[in-house]
Amino acid sequence: MSTGNMNLTLKVWRQKNTKDKGKMVDYKVADISPDMSFLEMFDVLNEDLITKGDDPIVFDHDCREGICGMCSMFINGRPHGPKDAVTTCQLHMRSFKDGDTIVVEPWRAKAFPVIKDLTVDRSAFDRVIAAGGFISVNTGNAQDANNLPIPKAQADAAFEAAACIGCGACVATCKNASAMLFVSAKISQLALLPQGQPERYKRVQNMVAQMDAEGFGNCTNTGACEAECPKGISLENIARMNRDYYSAKFISEEEG
Amino acid sequence: MSAINSNIPEGELTTKWTKFKSSVPLVNPSNKRSLEIIVVGSGLAGASAAATLAEMGYKVKCFCFQDSPRRAHSIAAQGGINAAKNYQNDGDSTYRLFYDTIKGGDYRAREANVHRLAEVSANIIDQCVAQGVPLAREYGGLLDNRSFGGTQVQRTFYAAGQTGQQLLLGAYSALERQIGMGKVEMFTRHEMLEVVKIDGKARGIIARNLITGELERHFGHAVVLGTGGYGNVFYLSTNAMGSNVTAAWKANKQGAFFANPCYTQIHPTCIPVSGDHQSKLTLMSESLRNDGRIWVPKKKDDTRKASEIPEDERDYYLERRYPAFGNLVPRDVASRAAKERCDAGYGVGASKLAVYLDFKANTERYGKIEAAKAGIQNPDKETCMRLGTAVVKEKYGNLFDMYAQITGENPYETPMRIYPAVHYTMGGLWVDYNLMTTVPGLYCTGEANFSDHGANRLGASALMQGLADGYFVLPYTIGQYLSKEISVKAIPTDHPAFAEAEAKAKGILDTLIGIKGTKSVDHFHKKLGLIMWDKCGMARNAEGLKSAIAEIQQLKKDFWSDVRVPGSADEYNPELEKAGRVADFIELGELMCIDALNRNESCGGHFREEYQTEEGEALRDDEGYAYVAAWENKGDGNFELHKEELKFENIKIAQRSYK
């Protein structure tokens, strides 16, 4: 397949399974087009490996439109690569130069164990949501949606927090492997809306407890998560989460 | 087995669903606890169904192939969801939504199902808002709406260009709540490989744990498939890479008829293909057509830049041909019109397979309004463009960013280049009014079934159908079946039917690994995609379809003798997953061509070149083809056609006109 003229060296983390030690392996790729996405470049490499009888590199990906949050590569020391505010599937080879050496690793965090090669287990995120990242409303008894007007600014702020795709870049880039950006985004979204008020303080306590139980580290306000988030989720959410968390302590004491 | 009964309730169209709900047998709460339901798929239809069924008290097991239900491809839907709320006071009603959907579907959908969809649409919005889904609001705090193709009212609710994401995360949070309470057992990174049938009824599935490779047996009193569409049969499509037809196809092999497979929606506004490395196509939301004007140069092979082509040398062909709907004609009409212009030599860009989607005029118009609001008198063009750009950014910012990222061009400055691409499949497993397939106890919801869209889907109606099925339809209709199953004890999975189904699944995996051929799975997938796009794509004809069938049969032979699947079946092996899915796509591709060849008419997403009006519009044959084509799989590539006649009692069938 000759579609371009970029030649690159890749250093890729290979690890057979969770128990295997894993190591970096070098690969050469040739004739890469600058219009390819980073994952399409990997497709070309894998096609080559399969034809040669080698095992292809396993990586998570699905929508390839930057929204499902599945792709998860650490590229040259940054989650989702060198560009700001994009996922790996939306990173194109025009962001690299002919002759570059590119280092590719899986997400690095104890709470995200490697499954194989570049694929990690992010189910801890689901368990955090299951602990409280919802509004307890059963199907079929909702009131008319316009009965409760929500100021536009508030709805927009909730939407901005809700835009999180759960990719885990925030965890992967944090020196403490903290999940606070992810967790606070959901807490913020629901705390900003009138529908989220009844469970607001219970929610923050439950979700934070689960986050800790999963083995994520704490936040030390370094801000790498915000800088590397492909969806621009703001640190303000962490501030809001902390405020609600402390409020919850007092509220539950009063109620208790 | 050959008679199919749609089980549409008797009576007046507008009261069918209400009457059905009040007369359907119920299952009492203590019995619900002992009834087990398997839900395969966790997108809008699957997640909403699994959550709602668990809320009702059933024991639910939910399966998805992704690492989390939050990744289901519903998340990628951009533009919006329709609901007949008439919040804009522009004359919308349940009937009008019903009418637009039937007409938009080219009179190939079932009246009763579509009316029910229109009825429950309003509840969907209420449900999602109650869950905390942040839909767009106006300054007064009320919900905002916009327009989509094929309609003249504003009934589309949205959350920027991320509506699918927000709705899915709403359904996902409802599902996670039930998982947290232990009422849904979730199996992620699992793929369904067989339906297990006992005494003719669906009683479970064989699923493969994708991490360990282990085959698992799961019992259910009923099985629900909400596994999405099969657009990836074309290789290049807007579907996620993992979207597949395997679950539905295995069900077809177990007796569930496959309906209208040839109806594929080609979406008019996708980013054009840039090279042969391409793995998938990216959609630009249809909502962009609210503010984008579509044009090509009036001169053939015009190589000038868009900005150098003066206004009077541009052909706004949709506005010219369809003055009443203009840029908002339905997707099938817009797609064919783009293909027609490009085929005639007026395409733009390097490949000449693209048309312009231009925001300049509306950006300037918005700028003027903003300037007036800010009290700026006689604003110059530059000021208007600057102020207008901010408005456009707020409405479509993420889509513009996505376009810039993929193409390397700035769409705020130059018009987008777009071309049609495979997007959504209206065909799927045949279901009756209860959403049950021809296999008792096997249900199918959302894009995986055929029911509500006819030959063409209007924009913002897929999200509506997925959630309608999952939240408001299936949870009612499944009770009818389960009320007769309350005395059935859970069947142990050492039952011979489970063993047999597992052996079948294992046999296929072992065969695939054992071929050890020379060509990768993708090699075959790409070949299939080219055949399908060329001969069963935006336009089809009898000769092409016949040759496609022969080519696919040959491709099937080559695949099963020369595919190379590395690794083994007892480990995490994405190539093996892909191989199984492509094997199924090949068989389905053949059926799609057979179905397209059978349908000697043009309608919606199915355009047979032999059947068109003098102006090049689709020419239906309502005498001969007003039926659902439901295909029974007889094995070895043999299919028997069953017809469900479509009766239009409330809408007069007419030639579709958007002029």
Is A68 in contact with B125 (Cβ distance < 8 A)? no
- Quick one: pLDDT band at residue B62, thresholds 50, 70, 90? very high
CATH number of the domain within which A36 lies: 3.10.20.30
Cα dist from B232 to A66, B38, B215, B522, B575, whole Å:
18, 25, 25, 12, 16
Helix (H) or strand (E) holding A51: helix A38-52
Backbone angles phi, psi at B642, to 5 degrees: -115, 140
Dist CA B325 CA B319 (whole Å) = 8
Q: What confidence score (pLDDT) does residue A2 get?
A: 41
Give a yes or no: residue A168 inside a domain: yes
- Quick one: pLDDT band at residue B336, thresholds 50, 70, 90? very high
Give a yes or no: residue A142 inside a domain: no
Residue whose structure tokens are 């008439």: B86
**Regarding beta strands B293-297 and B314-315, do their DSSP bridges make them parallel or antiparallel, or are they unpaired?**
antiparallel
Are residue A10 and residue A110 in the same domain, yes or no? Answer: yes
The sign of the CA dihedral B209, B212, B213, B215 is: negative
Are residue A79 and residue A133 in the same domain, yes or no? Answer: no
Are residue A89 and residue A127 in the same domain, yes or no? Answer: no
Give a yes or no: residue A164 inside a domain: yes
Nearest CA to A199 among A239, A162, A252? A252
Interface test with B, best of A3, A33, A50, A190 (most B CBs within 10 A): A50
Please return the burial class of B139, using the count of CB atoms within 10 Å of its CB with bins 0-12, 13-18 and 19+. Answer: exposed
Are residue A126 and residue A247 in the same domain, yes or no? Answer: yes
Dist CA B616 CA A123 (whole Å) = 52
Size of interface A-B (CB pairs under 8 A): 226
**Do B451 and B109 touch, CB atoms closer than 8 A?**
yes
Are residue A72 and residue A161 in the same domain, yes or no? Answer: no
- Quick one: pLDDT band at residue B3, thresholds 50, 70, 90? low
Average pLDDT, chain B: 96
- Does B136 touch chain A if contact means CB atoms closer than 8 Å? yes
Please report the residues numbered 466 through 495 in chain B whose beta carbons come closer than 8 angstroms to any beta carbon of chain A: 471-472, 475
Condensed to tens digits (0 to 9), the pLDDT of residues A107-128 reads 999 999 999 999 999 999 999 9
Are residue A157 and residue A32 in the same domain, yes or no? Answer: no
Are residue A198 and residue A77 in the same domain, yes or no? Answer: no
**Do B552 and B531 touch, CB atoms closer than 8 A?**
yes
Dist CA B426 CA B451 (whole Å) = 8
User: DSSP letter at B438?
Assistant: S
Q: What confidence score (pLDDT) does residue B150 get?
A: 83
Q: What residues make up the domain containing A129?
A: 122-137+147-255
CATH number of the domain within which A168 lies: 1.10.1060.10
Is pTM beyond 0.80 here?
yes
Q: What confidence score (pLDDT) does residue B397 get?
A: 86
Is B241 in contact with A135 (Cβ distance < 8 A)? no
Q: Closest Cα of chain A to B279: distance in Å?
A: 7
Backbone angles phi, psi at B159, to 5 degrees: -135, 90
- Does B139 touch chain A if contact means CB atoms closer than 8 Å? yes
Residues of B615-626 as b/e, b for ≥16 C-beta within 10 angstroms? eebbbbebeebb
Cβ contacts of B184 within 8 Å, gap of 6 or more: B50, B51, B54, B60, B61, B62, B175, B178
Give a yes or no: residue A81 inside a domain: yes
Is B75 in contact with A139 (Cβ distance < 8 A)? no
Are residue A52 and residue A151 in the same domain, yes or no? Answer: no
Q: List the catalytic residues of B.
A: 331
Is A40 in contact with B277 (Cβ distance < 8 A)? yes
Percent of chain B with pLDDT over 90: 93
Residues of B348-368 as b/e, b for ≥16 C-beta within 10 angstroms? bbeeebbbbbbbbebbbebbb
B519 alpha carbon, distance to own chain's centre:
31
Is A140 in contact with B472 (Cβ distance < 8 A)? yes
Are residue A202 and residue A108 in the same domain, yes or no? Answer: no
Q: What confidence score (pLDDT) does residue B581 get?
A: 98
Q: What confidence score (pLDDT) does residue B149 get?
A: 81
Quick one: average pLDDT of B254-276? 94
Are residue A127 and residue A246 in the same domain, yes or no? Answer: yes
Q: What confidence score (pLDDT) does residue B161 get?
A: 86
Residue A136 clears pLDDT 50, i.e. is over it: yes
Are residue A129 and residue A99 in the same domain, yes or no? Answer: no
Are residue A128 and residue A229 in the same domain, yes or no? Answer: yes
**Regarding beta strands B258-259 and B428-429, do their DSSP bridges make them parallel or antiparallel, or are they unpaired?**
antiparallel
Cα dist from B643 to B3, B433, B438, B595, B618, whole Å:
9, 16, 13, 12, 22
Domain count, chain A: 2
Give a yes or no: residue A1 inside a domain: no
The Cβ of residue A206 has, within 10 Å, a number of other Cβ atoms equal to 18
Instruction: Give contacts of B523 with chain A, Cβ < 8 Å.
Output: 47
Is A68 in contact with B71 (Cβ distance < 8 A)? yes
Minimum-distance CB partner of B176 among A69, A133, A152: A133
**Do B642 and B252 touch, CB atoms closer than 8 A?**
no
Cβ contacts of B554 within 8 Å, gap of 6 or more: none
Quick one: average pLDDT of A2-26? 93
The answer to which of A208-212, B53-57, B267-271, B497-501 has the lowest mean pLDDT is B267-271
Q: Which residues pair with A78 in a beta bridge?
A: A75
Q: Is B389 left (phi over 0), alpha (psi -120 to 50) or beta?
A: alpha
Instruction: Give contacts of B186 with chain A, Cβ < 8 Å.
Output: 126
Q: Closest Cα of chain A to B377: distance in Å?
A: 28
Give a yes or no: residue A21 inside a domain: yes
Please report the residues numbered 180 through 199 in chain B whose beta carbons come closer than 8 angstroms to any beta carbon of chain A: 180, 186, 188
- Quick one: pLDDT band at residue B655, thresholds 50, 70, 90? confident
Is A90 in contact with B406 (Cβ distance < 8 A)? yes
Structure tokens at B460: 């913002």
Q: DSSP of B572-627, one letter per residue?
A: --HHHHHHHHHHHHHHHHHHHHHHHHH--S-BTTB-BTTSB-TTS-B---HHHH-E
Condensed to tens digits (0 to 9), the pLDDT of residues B464-499 reads 999 999 999 999 999 999 999 999 999 999 999 999
